[in-house]
């Protein structure tokens, strides 16, 4: 399946994400999920970025928390709400929120 | 153009998840899609009439009214969830419907995409 | 005449949030959905418990006694009474050392005939691929 | 006998934290202590009049009324938090007061113990 | 200080708890915190029980979730709401909720 | 005439919950508490950021632009303007690699004179011991 996952938290949900498998996987970092794209804990980027997937982060949620695209890990693409709608309808058949 | 059904169970203020759901609806409608919006549990607060807009709180009433006006957006609150919180029919914001949970299930039947935003 | 299949995947612990309760009550609501649909059209739910979510399936939940609140156990039984498909992840039960006899596996006491099934995660993954829409609670 | 001030910011249903806070108040009053109870944010839902009791939801109105009757329990909801959620004065359950946040701070001044239950 | 900590979650809060130091420390497991007293993950009890503290678990929250005192780790004492009130007023000067 | 000291310890990330916002607005409310108290009596707050909570202290929060919502940044500045004591845990900043110039350290732009202080966790522990009541957000 082509699965889009909204990742909305920083501390929980990785266990669920790690087990998911999909032919095509997109991970959209929203809400406090944006810290996965921006924060290094003792120098190390979030382990979820090691998953084989396309990564996106919502610009509005990034900016609200004091970050901008220059803080974002190179594996992650910054997107807007409009882009998210297109991803949902064009790139993924199923979408979940964790 | 497609149909998106959003189920939202998060609380009004304190979690920005409801703001996310409303902004996503706005973006989808702007691109010509239609949106069914279901609120259950604490998210039924979104359907409450007379919320006063403070800058410390997200105030979504205006955006919702604009969305209703497009004709491509319908929103329904879980009736029992609302009653349990002391919101009667007369407390419901204009444009909102109240139904039981089967409304949401029925909406998913014809939806191209379903996004359930589950909990705080 | 068509059937749309919806997965309700429960990964949350009970009671802290309403997530698992809402998953079950919404899944059960599929039974009355025809009032909104054409004749013969159906929405068919499958309920899957994974991760911490398996804790929802423990027997003897005394939420009514202690908090005046319907237990998740009762909702599980109602789901089985209405013949919903309920899957519980085997690996997660094993991880927590939970045995089948500690779980709500049937609703025989209220006249139900359907049983919950303990299955490997791969079976749940297959269900997630087979359904039309996925929801995580 | 002591005074306990409880601040509760959690939501009504969905989190049992409010149930905990009310049950703790009950136990404290039963032992002769007095309790000041402050609700802010989504917990202001607890002060809403007319909540319908369902078995699927914790219904705390009755316990609160019994607590008020003891004279050893007072409860106050954050006024701005309530207004933001569309609860006016007329929506407030009998026995409850509405004040701004300084009421809570003042209550802690003379409290022997303060318990802040913070968030969902 | 004599500090009582209400631990209300299973997945978060351990980081905060681990750093706290107190001359006398009591940890009261409530809500989903009760899983720390009852659940072994791959055979191992929760690491918070290794902390030097007095441990309590609320009977009502234990029972609501399908457990009883026979499931509780031997380091943890089962208490009622009334007991909790006494602990708060008699044994600890400050109380926090995490 | 007495002063009671209250600690507001913020360990939560901003925006997902209202926790950090409420901590700051309640701490600020200490400034008007005298209407309920005897002359000369005071409630004095100290605000401490630890763990993930240090993320609340980042500059350039665009919550107003994106969500029409007062940012936590604004509440931080209001706290400093009112001369509240604000402590930020050094070890946690180091852990996340956050430098002082990325933080809201003062409210000079709105006329404030008090600065936030970056201190080792041991200092925050001392504050927790010194205050009359502790609250974790």
Q: Are E62 and E37 in contact (CB under 8 A)?
A: yes
pLDDT for residue E14 is more than 80: yes
- Enumerate residues 13 to 42 of chain F having a beta carbon within 8 A of any beta carbon in chain E: none
pTM for the model stands at 0.95
What are the tokens at B40? 């259950």
How many domains would you assign to chain D? Answer: 1
CATH value at residue C58: 3.40.1260.10
Helices (H), ranges, E1-98: 14-19, 35-38, 59-64, 81-86
* Per-residue H/E/C for C12-53: CCCCCCCHHHHHHHHHHHHHHHHHHCCCCCEEEEEEEECHHH
What are the tokens at E22? 């107190």
Q: Quick check: do A and D touch, 3+ CB pairs under 8 A?
A: no
**Burial category of D82 from C-beta neighbours within 10 Å (exposed 0-12, middle 13-18, buried 19 and up):** buried
Q: Which domains does chain E have, with CATH numbers?
A: 2-97 (3.40.1260.10)
The candidate with the shortest Cα–Cα distance to D43, out of D10, D74, D68, D69, is D10
How many domains would you assign to chain C? Answer: 1
Chain B residue numbers with beta carbons less than 8 Å from the beta carbon of C4 are: 108-109
ipTM confidence: 0.95
Angstrom distance (rounded) from CA C51 to CA C35: 35
Please tell me whether residue C96 adopts helix, strand or coil conformation: helix
What are the tokens at C134? 């996925």
Taking the CA of residue A21 and the nearest CA in chain F, the distance in Å comes to: 27
The candidate with the shortest Cα–Cα distance to D105, out of E93, F137, F42, F82, is F42
Q: Give the pLDDT of chain C (137 residues) as one tens digit per residue.
A: 899 999 999 999 999 888 999 999 999 999 999 999 999 999 999 999 999 999 999 999 999 999 999 999 999 999 999 999 999 999 999 999 999 999 999 999 999 999 999 999 999 999 999 999 999 99
Question: What pLDDT was estimated at residue C1?
Answer: 83
Angstrom distance (rounded) from CA C122 to CA C137: 19
Q: Which residues sit opposite C4 in a β-bridge?
A: C43
Q: Which residues sit opposite C86 in a β-bridge?
A: C47
Is residue F112 less than 8 Å (CB to CB) from chain E? Answer: no
Angstrom distance (rounded) from CA C10 to CA C24: 9
Q: How many CB atoms within 10 Å of residue F99? A: 8
With respect to residue D120, please indicate whether it lies within any of the assigned structural domains: no
Q: How many CB atoms within 10 Å of residue E68? A: 13
Query: What residues make up the domain containing D76?
Result: 3-48+59-110
CATH value at residue D78: 3.40.1260.10
The arrangement of strands across the sheet holding E2-7 comes to: E76-79, E54-58, E24-29, E2-7, E94-97
The candidate with the shortest Cα–Cα distance to B25, out of B91, B78, B70, B82, is B70
Band (F1; pLDDT cuts 50, 70, 90): confident
Which residue in D25, D28, D32 has the most chain E C-beta atoms within 10 A of its own C-beta, making it the best mutation to test that interface? D28
Query: What residues make up the domain containing F44?
Result: 3-136
Residue found by looking up tokens 């909720």 in the block: E97
Question: What pLDDT was estimated at residue A57?
Answer: 98
Q: Quick check: do D and F touch, 3+ CB pairs under 8 A?
A: yes
Query: With a cut of 70, which residues of chain A have pLDDT below it?
Result: none
Q: Are D7 and D17 in contact (CB under 8 A)?
A: no
Q: How many CB atoms within 10 Å of residue E70? A: 6
Question: What pLDDT was estimated at residue C65?
Answer: 95
Average pLDDT over residues E13-40: 96
What are the tokens at B116? 């359930």
């Amino acid at each position: 399946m082509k699965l889009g996952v909204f990742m909305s938290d920083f501390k929980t949900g990785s266990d669920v994400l790690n087990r998911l498998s999909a032919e095509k996987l997109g991970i959209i970092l929203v809400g406090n999920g944006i810290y996965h794209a921006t924060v290094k804990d003792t120098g190390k980027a979030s382990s979820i970025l090691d998953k084989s997937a396309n990564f996106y982060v919502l610009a509005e949620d990034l900016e609200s928390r004091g970050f901008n695209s220059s803080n974002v890990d190179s594996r992650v693409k910054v997107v807007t709400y409009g882009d998210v709608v297109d991803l949902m309808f064009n790139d993924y058949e199923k979408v979940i929120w964790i | 153009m497609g149909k998106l059904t959003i189920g939202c169970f998060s609380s009004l203020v304190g979690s920005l998840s409801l703001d996310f759901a409303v902004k996503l609806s706005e973006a989808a409608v702007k691109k010509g899609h239609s949106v069914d919006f279901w609120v259950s549990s604490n998210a039924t607060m979104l359907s409450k009439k007379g919320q006063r807009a403070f800058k410390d709180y997200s105030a979504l009433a205006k955006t919702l009214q604009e969305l209703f006006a497009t004709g491509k957006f319908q929103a329904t609150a879980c009736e029992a969830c609302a009653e349990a919180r002391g919101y009667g029919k007369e407390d419901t914001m204009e444009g909102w419907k109240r139904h039981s949970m089967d409304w949401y299930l029925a909406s998913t039947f014809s939806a191209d995409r379903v996004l359930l935003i589950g909990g705080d | 005449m068509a059937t749309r299949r919806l997965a309700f995947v429960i990964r949350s612990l009970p009671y802290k949030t309403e997530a698992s309760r809402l998953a079950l009550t919404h899944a059960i609501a599929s039974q009355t959905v025809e009032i909104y649909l054409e004749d013969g059209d159906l929405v068919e739910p499958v309920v899957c418990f994974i991760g911490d979510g398996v804790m929802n399936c423990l027997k003897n939940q005394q939420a009514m006694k202690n908090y005046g609140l319907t237990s998740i156990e009762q909702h599980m039984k109602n789901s089985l009474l209405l013949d919903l498909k309920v899957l519980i992840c085997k690996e997660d039960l094993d991880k927590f050392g939970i045995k089948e006899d500690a779980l709500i596996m049937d609703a025989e006491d209220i006249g139900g005939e359907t049983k919950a099934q303990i299955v490997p995660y791969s079976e749940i993954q297959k269900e997630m691929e087979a359904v039309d829409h996925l929801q995580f609670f």
